[in-house]
A = this chain, B = another copy of it.
Amino acid sequence: MARVLTPQGEDFPRWYQDVVAKAQLAENGPVRGTMVIRPWAYGIWELLQRGLDDRIKASGARNAYFPLLIPESYLRREAEHVEGFSPELAVVTVGGGKELAEPAVVRPTSETIINASLARWISSYRDLPLKVNQWANVVRWELRPRLFLRTSEFLWQEGHTAHATRREAHEYALEILEHAYAATMEQDLAIPVWRGRKTEREKFAGAVVSWSCEGLMRDGKALQMGTSHELGQNFAHAFDITYTDEHGELQRPWQTSWGASTRLLGATIMVHGDDDGLRLPPRVAPTQVVVLVARAGEGVTEGATRLVEDLLQEGVRAELDAHTDVSVGRRIVDWELRGVPVRVELGPRDLESGQVPVALRARGEKRPYALDGLARAMRGVLEAEHAELLRQATALRDRLTRPVRTVEEAAEQTREGAARLPWAVLGAKGERRLLADGVSVRCLVREDRQTVDDPDAGGVEAIVARAY
């Protein structure tokens, strides 16, 4: 059979490009670095979004929408923030046929414009905590674009909150990291992630502390998959946000912001995909089960249609493939490429015997199932496939990650995967040395899995890798 994709072992970046194109996930837009998200990938995004949105709402945030265009002067109000984003801005200078008096930037993130609203919305301690989230597009000019991973425009959610105390803001930033982000990544995307603290060098422009979820891709490179920031009172000062506390005193709130984006699609591709294409985690697969009429024959299409209906009835996203004018082999290649978790192949003989072959994409194997009761059993099958993908991804990550004792060993190990070493050994100086080599500290974690309150305390490890 002709090979559809460049094998991962031969050239991973080329494999990625191939699968993004051939599984019809995305393509480049005409303006540099922009991206068209095609229906199959957008379907994954919609499911991912639904799960993450539910978790964000469960954490008490409500959705809202803030303007795309931000006066240039707003960005300048927070010094580190503008410095972080200036090189990446897209600027509107003409509106309605006229040169604008003040240029407007297309939001690269919305801290500034949202805090301008919060300054109006917050006046009393009764208004706190205030938690808003928005789903939106943002633009950060990208010179070396890569579909889903680094694009000039991407889709994301950004949450912004204000709290009465620093402690509460800290706890909420971590709640989002764990119960919204890590939960979505592990429970919906079947991707194991490290949760940890960013170093001073890697933290968000304008934040006091940044936290992130980091995944390890199949090629041993890391990907930052979601970040949650404690902003301290930086933006409260820049936008003059104050409230009157219980004692009638004027106070400034403590804030957080947090975001996750269409990058998660890139992660899903690079953590689970294999040489035959995507392998989709069932919870975000637009089609979970395809029922394929292998060969036409008496009652086969009817039987397949009935099975699809039964599956839909059971709440399974099922689809019929009765395109018998195309060869079975070609159709199978295509379904594997698109990563549909379960494929039921139905031919005349299967109907007779009452047994059907069920191909499980995550395992790369076929198992016989009794046709009777298959629809009822399917949710269990899909759960097992989710668990199998998570198991494989965790095993691979563990294999690609090694504890090391020196900066030299860390540099060496990152040719293969990730290295873990004591932050006390690495430090800011070691971090600089690794960076010169294209290796970065992805996050700081503690061996006892507690959160890192003080990077310089004992027991803190750096997770070090090359990264996307």
Assess whether A67 is in contact with B116, with CB atoms less than 8 Å apart: no
Assess whether B30 is in contact with A71, with CB atoms less than 8 Å apart: yes
Digitize A89-120: 1 where CB-to-B-CB distance is under 8 Å, 0 elsewhere: 11111111100000110100000010011001
Identify which of A38, A95, A136 gathers the most chain B CB atoms within 10 Å of its CB. A95
The verdict on A65 contacting B94 (CB below 8 Å), with A36-B117, A116-B30, A137-B137 known, is no
- Does A373 have its Cβ within 8 Å of any Cβ on chain B? no
- Does A70 have its Cβ within 8 Å of any Cβ on chain B? yes
Digitize A112-156: 1 where CB-to-B-CB distance is under 8 Å, 0 elsewhere: 010011001000000000001000110101110000000011010
Assess whether B63 is in contact with A104, with CB atoms less than 8 Å apart: no
Assess whether A43 is in contact with B62, with CB atoms less than 8 Å apart: yes
Assess whether A29 is in contact with B89, with CB atoms less than 8 Å apart: no
CA distance A278 to B226 in the complex (A): 38
The verdict on A87 contacting B94 (CB below 8 Å), with A67-B35, A69-B34 known, is no
The verdict on A63 contacting B36 (CB below 8 Å), with A30-B116, A69-B153 known, is no
* A contact face: mostly helix, strand, loop, or mixed: mixed
CA distance A321 to B292 in the complex (A): 53
State how many angstroms separate the Cβ of A364 from the closest Cβ of chain B: 28
- Does A46 have its Cβ within 8 Å of any Cβ on chain B? yes
Residues of A in contact, count (CB < 8 Å)? 55
Assess whether A95 is in contact with B32, with CB atoms less than 8 Å apart: yes
State how many angstroms separate the Cβ of A34 from the closest Cβ of chain B: 4
Specify which of B38, B42, B43, B136 is in contact with A137 (CB 8 Å cutoff).
B136
CA distance A37 to B133 in the complex (A): 12
State how many angstroms separate the Cβ of A299 from the closest Cβ of chain B: 26
The verdict on A30 contacting B64 (CB below 8 Å), with A94-B91, A95-B90, A96-B88 known, is no
| Contact residues in B for A152 (Cβ distance below 8 Å) | 69, 95
Measured CB to CB, the residues of A under 8 A from B are 27, 29-32, 34-39, 42-43, 45-46, 62-71, 74, 86-97, 103-104, 106, 113, 116-117, 120, 132, 136-137, 139, 141-143, 152-153, 155
Pairs of residues from A and B, 5 with the lowest C-beta to C-beta distance, nearest first: A96-B141, A29-B67, A34-B67, A39-B62, A37-B65
